[in-house]
Amino acid sequence: MLKRIILLSIVLVVVIANLVSASSPPKIEAEAAVLMKADDLQVLFDKKANDIMYPASTTKIVTLITAIEEGNLNSVVVASPQAALCDGSSLELKAGDKLTLQEALYGMMLVSGNDAAEVIAENVAGSVPQFVQKMNDKAEAIGATRTHFTNPHGLPDPINHFTTAYDLALITSYGMSNPLFAQIVASREHDVRFTSGAVSHVTNTNKLLKTYKGANGVKTGFTNAAGECLVASATRKNVQLVAVILNSDYRWSDAAKLLDYGFQQLGL
């Protein structure tokens, strides 16, 4: 009888421990992070979510939204010499290269082409500064009150180019409601086609698309100033979650932990 009581007590302790573990927020390494339910913007996890941070290439989430809403997706965009020489990650565009705006959007988001981001900005708005103004207007309209951009790609500007984890989640939740936005950021690979007939095969830098159940976006980012960043999304049973990880050497595991935690909280 005593052994049975002891055994039942051990089982009860294990069950309680598992329940506590399942409901406890995960420990993550990111300097700032947030987990948001996309449909109603409910925050399920918050770590310094409103602290001002550098966004790096997660900036391109807003570039994508702005270009889809402001541009003609079938129009042909032309790479200027300045855009072709843009620093950092690249679609390897050359001055004079021509492709549709939609193809440029894939190139920008999947391989994080800074050159593609500048080509998009120049062709949609006439100049990079004019496009960036549209980006800031859009961010403000969405409700991202602690965000400001000075370029369309996220290369460092230590004073005037910044955001927060919360604002990025808010912006991404808005973006995911657009079918083309959702299609592009969920694409694991794509053949970027130029009007010349040339094709550039690109693979998405977002590893979670291949490793996390239900993953469907969104964007990686890195600069020395920003650290490793990731905006990740996943959907299960029609519930969309958005996890934002800013400045973490463990962005992939951080994002997976947050998404796991969110789906557990929602019984999914």
> At 22, is the pLDDT very low, low, confident or very high (cuts 50, 70, 90)?
low
What angle is formed at CA 247 by the lines to CA 114 and CA 67, rounded to 5 degrees?
30
Are the beta carbons of 195 and 99 closer than 8 angstroms? yes
Query: Residue 32, SS3?
Result: strand
pLDDT recorded at residue 1: 55
- Tell me what pLDDT residue 147 has: 98
Q: Decide if 205 contacts 57 (C-beta within 8 A).
A: no
Q: What is the CATH number of domain 29-265?
A: 3.40.710.10
Given the residues 37, 47, 60, 134, the one annotated as active site: 60
Which among 37, 47, 57, 187 is annotated as catalytic? 57
pLDDT in tens, 74-97: 999 999 999 999 999 999 999 999
d(CA 121, CA 88): 17
For residue 57, indicate whether it is catalytic. Answer: yes
Q: What is the structure's pLDDT at 17?
A: 41
Q: Which amino acid is at 83?
A: A
Q: Which amino acid would we find at residue 222?
A: F
Q: Identify the active-site residue in 112, 200, 233, 248.
A: 112
Helix axes 60-70, 101-110, angle to 10 degrees: 170
Pairing of strands 215-223, 227-236: antiparallel
Active site residue 196: no
Predicted structure pTM score: 0.91
